[in-house]
């Protein structure tokens, strides 16, 4: 297939580019490099990869690429993804995530792209009540921050677009993949996770192991969970991309699919810290801190819909294995891609 990957120079998008090339697809990657890195593009260099530096606001670039490369599928990863930042800069989130997706979709619609795989998020569920955990796809979507809102708006745009096209007798297909906590790095050791600033739990703890942070702070130890810390569903980035490929290959005209991508089990912050200690053998200081605003106590997926529909489930179920893949890359790249 001819696939456009937006945000393909970022953490998750670059893993998608790698997998699509391995599977023999042709890839056009669009990334404005505001959060992504040029290095993965160089590392993945291939005759079947075109890297087009550019922004989703540049509709003429998008139209040219879509038509010129006869794109049949879009995997749309490009987005701003920090919950806290979205509260401080909501307009930037709606512009990048919602208006950016709309621009892309208008360009895609005009040239007749028929498959759209969208990176959505568990943040669209907001703070589900305990009886809704594990979360199924029919859980009400009530985001509690602009990040989740900006992604939910795109899900709704896709739904309306698909309905209109179906009614017009020109059906298209889309999937909204709602990610839980994506973690780990590519097992061949080429691609990694390089955010600035880094706020995600596993990389933060690994940076403490490397001596780059004085200590790790657990944000809240008084939650109504077995050990008092928040519980999340950590899914390996390569498994997550495997779900994208399963979805892309299954999409048929008229499909409107919505899937949770997680392993279906939760780990607490303390359990993650213990797993990092066990994998790395490094001691580091752990502090008990205040709760981080907006963190729900427990959030994990019921991923049974995608298993039933497409036969996908996460191959890596042990968080130690996920941490090992990340540790391998962090040790080799203590300063991210700049170390290469």
Catalytic residue among 11, 147, 179, 234: 147
Comparing CA positions, the residue from 1, 292, 248, 258 lying closest to residue 122 is 258
CB of residue 46 vs ligand UFG: minimum separation in angstroms?
29
| The binder of ligand UFG chosen from 45, 188, 199, 212 (CB under 6 A) | 199
Of 72-80, 102-110, 213-221, 241-249: span binding ligand UFG (CB under 6 A): 213-221
Give the x-and-dash track for 21-60 against ligand UFG (CB under 6 A): ----------------------------------------
Q: Which residue is associated with the tokens 């797993």?
A: 275
CB of residue 63 vs ligand UFG: minimum separation in angstroms?
29
Q: Which of residues 257-316 bind ligand UFG (CB under 6 A)?
A: 269, 292, 295, 299
Cβ atoms 247, 259 nearer than 8 A: yes
Residues of the chain by 3-state class (helix, strand, coil), percent to 5: 45, 20, 40
Comparing CA positions, the residue from 240, 329, 235, 232 lying closest to residue 279 is 329
Contacts of 218 (CB under 8 A, 6+ apart): 229, 269, 270, 273, 286, 287, 288, 289
Cβ closest to ligand UFG, residue 215 vs residue 249: 215
195 scored as a contact of ligand UFG (CB under 6 A): no
User: Residue number with the shortest CB distance to ligand UFG?
Assistant: 230
CA distance 315 to 305: 16
Cβ closest to ligand UFG, residue 7 vs residue 115: 7
CB of residue 235 vs ligand UFG: minimum separation in angstroms?
10
At 52, list the tokens.
């087009």
| The binder of ligand UFG chosen from 135, 204, 245, 248 (CB under 6 A) | 204
| The binder of ligand UFG chosen from 52, 107, 175, 218 (CB under 6 A) | 218
DSSP per-residue string spanning 210-265: TTSSSEEEEE-S-SSSTTSS-EE-EEEHHHHHHHHHHHHHH--TT-EEEEEES-S-
| The binder of ligand UFG chosen from 64, 69, 90, 219 (CB under 6 A) | 219
CA distance 313 to 57: 35
* Local structure of residue 116 (DSSP, 8 states): E
Number of residues near ligand UFG (by CB under 6 A): 21
Whether residue 179 lies in the annotated active site: no
Cβ closest to ligand UFG, residue 73 vs residue 181: 181
Cβ atoms 177, 119 nearer than 8 A: yes
Cβ closest to ligand UFG, residue 73 vs residue 229: 229
Comparing CA positions, the residue from 151, 137, 117 lying closest to residue 13 is 117
| The binder of ligand UFG chosen from 50, 217, 271, 313 (CB under 6 A) | 217
CB of residue 290 vs ligand UFG: minimum separation in angstroms?
10
Q: Which residues pair with 179 in a beta bridge?
A: 121, 261
Q: Which of residues 119-158 bind ligand UFG (CB under 6 A)?
A: 121-123, 147
| Binding footprint of ligand UFG on the chain (CB under 6 A) | 81, 83, 121-123, 147, 181, 199-201, 204, 216-219, 230, 232, 269, 292, 295, 299
Residues with a catalytic annotation lie at 147
């Amino acid at each position: 297939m001819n696939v456009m990957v937006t945000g393909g120079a970022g953490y998750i998008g670059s893993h998608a580019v790698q997998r699509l090339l391995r599977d023999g697809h042709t890839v056009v990657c669009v990334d404005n490099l505001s959060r992504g890195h040029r290095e993965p593009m160089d590392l993945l260099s291939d005759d079947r990869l075109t890297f087009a530096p550019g922004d989703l606001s540049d509709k003429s670039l998008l139209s040219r690429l879509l038509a010129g490369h006869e794109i049949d599928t879009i995997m749309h990863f490009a987005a701003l993804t920090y919950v806290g930042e979205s509260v401080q800069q909501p307009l930037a989130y709606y512009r990048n995530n919602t208006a950016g997706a709309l621009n892309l979709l208008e360009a895609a619609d005009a040239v007749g792209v028929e498959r759209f795989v969208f990176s959505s998020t568990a943040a669209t569920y907001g703070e589900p009540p305990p009886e809704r955990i594990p979360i199924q796809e029919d859980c009400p979507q009530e985001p509690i921050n602009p990040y989740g809102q900006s992604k939910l708006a795109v899900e709704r745009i896709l739904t309306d677009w698909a309905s209109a096209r179906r009614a017009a007798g020109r059906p298209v297909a889309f999937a909204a993949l709602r990610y839980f906590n994506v973690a780990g790095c590519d097992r061949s050791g080429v691609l990694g996770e390089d955010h600035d600033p880094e706020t995600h739990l596993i990389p933060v703890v690994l940076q403490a192991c490397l001596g780059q942070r004085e200590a790790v702070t657990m944000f809240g130890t008084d939650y109504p969970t077995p050990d008092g810390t928040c519980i999340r569903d950590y899914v390996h980035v390569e498994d997550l991309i495997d779900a994208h490929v399963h979805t892309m290959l299954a999409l048929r005209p008229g499909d409107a699919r919505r899937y949770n991508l997680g392993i279906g089990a939760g780990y607490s912050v303390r359990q993650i810290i213990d797993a990092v200690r066990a994998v790395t053998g490094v001691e580091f200081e752990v502090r008990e801190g205040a709760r981080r605003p907006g963190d729900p106590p427990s959030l994990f997926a019921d991923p049974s819909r995608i298993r039933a529909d497409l036969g996908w489930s996460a191959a890596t179920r042990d968080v130690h294995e996920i941490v090992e893949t990340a540790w391998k890359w962090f040790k080799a790249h203590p300063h991210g891609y700049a170390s290469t």
